[in-house]
Amino acid sequence: MQSGTTTGTTGTTTPGTPGGPVQTPPTEAGEALGNVLPEWLFVPGWQYVAAAVVLVAGYALSQYASRLLGRRVARRFRRQSVAQTVLRLIRFSVMAVAVAVAINLLGFEFGDIVLSVTVFSAVLGVVLAPLVGSIISGLFILADEPYEIGDMIELEDGRRGFVDEITIRYTKVYTLDNTSLVIPNANMRERFVTNYSAEDERIRLSLQVLVTYESDVERARTLMENAASGVDEVIEGGPNIRIGSARYPARPTAYIDEFADNGILVTLRYWAKKPYKLLTVRSRIQTKLWEQFESDPDVEMAYPHQHVVFDDTSGTLHAEMTANGEAENPTASAPDAAANPDEGTSSPRGTNSGDVDGRTGGPSDGV
């Protein structure tokens, strides 16, 4: 009986086990383990167990590396989204190495994998095209910094929320209704996104009130400014706030916006300290404003209405109801006819008592 180890194209044959020779895969990882580990460990199916152990060890190592380097990465990158992306890349790299070792233990060579990828490249290109687009868009988002984790943003459809997570594939947003949105980065780059808390959290808002023409407009403007200043979430005053090359007053200011049909439109411009409870701030201002308008007799809110005036030039209209509840054709009399009884009253509907051009005539003038 020949002793020793014979290496061939099918693997490494190792005698000395009760079940007969055990063949190990002809891979670099298998040969390395065969030189280090004892022979009795190489039972049938050992490569699957070894691959599973390598994957578990790789996962544990990736988590340990993330915790070990977490603080250093956080100090190196001030943006939380970038720091999280770097830590994900570290975990992914460790797991990629573990997967490569496990595949090698199972007998797969790098050339076989490359050949398989080449064969299915067309199919994979079609399937992975959206994913690749989102990844590229995620890199642009991380570089351009349109928003950051914790910022309050508004999407095109009007939904507002806080950015909870930014990856190279998607952005997760928690809306103000406590719902979660997972949006691919390719869609985020194509949308108009409003960031309410990018650098300066102060936000300028407006409130429009319509007062009657009989009201004291200056008094109305004063009441509106006082109502806004009495809310804690509103900036009461201070230095002018700069936006671009212009400066705007920090205190609430009311302007005469328009002379409308039913009244004078007054617009109140004010600054909110935080952009997080805008509806609450607006409601508190309107509550105080309503109380002040109610207690002031010189200011009255306007509403759409019309006055219909009848005088001596309006004429009269006579209408009767028949026994079956139907209305007869009304007979109208003009002031001219009343002043000149010889001409009689105006003819009933269906007759031509006067054309549009001002001509007068009786029933014989035409049909």
Question: What was the pLDDT predicted at 282?
Answer: 94
In sequence order, what are the residues at sequence separation of 6 or more whose Cβ sits closer than 8 angstroms to the Cβ of residue 191? 155, 156
My answer on whether 190 and 247 are in the same domain is: no
Per the structure, the complete domain to which residue 261 belongs is given by: 203-295
Indicate whether 263 belongs to any domain. Answer: yes
CB count within 10 Å of CB 298 equals 13
What DSSP string runs through 87-119?
HHHHHHHHHHHHHHHHHHHTT--HHHHHHHHHH
pLDDT in 10s for each residue of the chain, 367 residues: 444 444 444 444 444 444 444 454 555 555 565 565 556 566 566 677 777 888 888 888 888 887 887 777 777 776 676 777 777 788 888 888 888 777 777 776 655 555 555 655 666 666 667 777 787 888 888 777 788 888 899 998 889 999 998 888 889 999 988 899 999 888 888 888 888 887 788 899 999 999 999 999 999 999 999 999 999 999 998 898 888 888 999 999 999 999 998 899 999 999 999 888 889 999 999 999 999 999 999 999 998 877 777 777 777 767 677 777 665 665 555 555 444 444 444 444 444 444 444 444 444 444 3
> Domain end: 81, 103, 119, which one?
119
Indicate whether 8 belongs to any domain. Answer: no
Note whether 281 and 229 are within 8 A (CB).
no
My answer on whether 181 and 221 are in the same domain is: no
Question: What was the pLDDT predicted at 310?
Answer: 75
My answer on whether 43 and 74 are in the same domain is: yes
Indicate whether 346 belongs to any domain. Answer: yes
My answer on whether 268 and 331 are in the same domain is: no
Note whether 275 and 196 are within 8 A (CB).
yes
My answer on whether 162 and 218 are in the same domain is: no
Indicate whether 267 belongs to any domain. Answer: yes
> Domain end: 87, 119, 151, which one?
119
Indicate whether 367 belongs to any domain. Answer: no
Q: What is the distance of C-alpha 213 from the center of its chain?
A: 41
Question: What was the pLDDT predicted at 150?
Answer: 87
Indicate whether 180 belongs to any domain. Answer: yes
Q: What is the CATH number of the domain that holds 207?
A: 3.30.70.100
> What is the Cα Rg of the chain in Å?
42
Indicate whether 38 belongs to any domain. Answer: yes
Global pTM?
0.53
My answer on whether 223 and 288 are in the same domain is: yes
Indicate whether 132 belongs to any domain. Answer: no
Phi/psi class of residue 150: alpha, beta or left (left: φ > 0; alpha: ψ in -120 to 50)?
Answer: left
Q: What is the CATH number of the domain that holds 153?
A: 2.30.30.60
Q: Which residues lie across from 12 on neighbouring strands?
A: 7, 24
Question: What was the pLDDT predicted at 287?
Answer: 95
Question: What was the pLDDT predicted at 328?
Answer: 61
My answer on whether 210 and 291 are in the same domain is: yes
My answer on whether 288 and 314 are in the same domain is: no
My answer on whether 98 and 147 are in the same domain is: no
The two tokens of residue 246 are: 């212009």
My answer on whether 256 and 284 are in the same domain is: yes
My answer on whether 208 and 187 are in the same domain is: no
Question: What is the total count of domains within the chain?
Answer: 4
My answer on whether 209 and 279 are in the same domain is: yes
Could you give the residue ranges of the DSSP H alpha helices within the chain? 28-36, 46-76, 80-105, 110-119, 121-144, 185-190, 217-229, 278-295, 335-339
